[in-house]
Amino acid sequence: MNLERYFEGAQHSASKRSILNRVLWAGIPFNGPHKLKIDAISPESVSVLIPYKRKNLNHLKGLHACVLATGAEYASGLVLLQHLSPKEFRLIMKSMEVEYHYQGKMDAFVKYELPRQEVENEIIDKLKDENKVAFTCHIKVHDKEGNHLCTSHVHWQIKRWSAVTSRT
C-alpha cells in the first residue's frame, strides 16, 4: 500500500480523505469500530474526529478514556508517517500517559502538528548515528466546543527497517 499517495490526495480532496479513512479502518482493525476520521490533513498536521457514538462511550455516556487515548496515538502516528516513509521507517508506540481534564459529551477533535524541521533534527539526524530513536508527541484533545478533554504524551520508538532486518 502506498500511504504517501493516499496522504497527498487526502490533503486536497474530501473524497480522497474518505477513501483514506476507509483504507485505514480496514488496515488498522482495532480503530475500525471507533470510526476515528481524518477531518483535515496537511504535510505537517492532522485533525482527527472522535465521534460521539455508542461504541465510543463509557458507562456515564461520556467519551471513553481509551478512545480519547487511541485518537491521540492515531493522530500523532499519522503525522509521523507523513514525515517518515513507512517503507523506510518503523514506528512502535513504546508507552503513553494521558491526563484527563473534562468529560467528553460530544464529538471530539485531536489536532496534532509537527514541523518538518523538528523531525529532521530529532529523528532523522539522530538515526544516522543510532539504531533507534525515542520521540515523544504531546497531543491535546478538545471537544467541538473547545473544552480540553485530555492531554496525551505518546512515546514512539523509531527505527529504520534496514536496522530491524539486519539485527534479527
Percentage, residues of the chain above pLDDT 70: 96
- In degrees, to the nearest 5, what angle opens at C-alpha 81 toward C-alphas 85 and 4? 60
pTM over 0.75: yes
Place of cell 486536497: 12
State the distance between the two ends of the chain, measured CA to CA, in whole angstroms: 24
Task: Enumerate the domain spans of the chain.
Answer: 3-166
d(CA 101, CA 98) in angstroms, rounded, equals: 10
Contact 108, 141 (CB under 8 A): yes
Fold category of 3-166 in CATH:
Thiol Ester Dehydrase; Chain A (3.10.129)
pLDDT in tens, 137-168: 999 999 999 999 999 999 999 999 887 665 54
DSSP secondary structure letters along 149-164: EEEEEEEEEEEEHHHH
pLDDT in tens, 31-70: 889 999 999 999 999 999 999 999 999 999 999 999 999 9
pLDDT of residue 1 exceeding 70: no
pLDDT of residue 29: 86
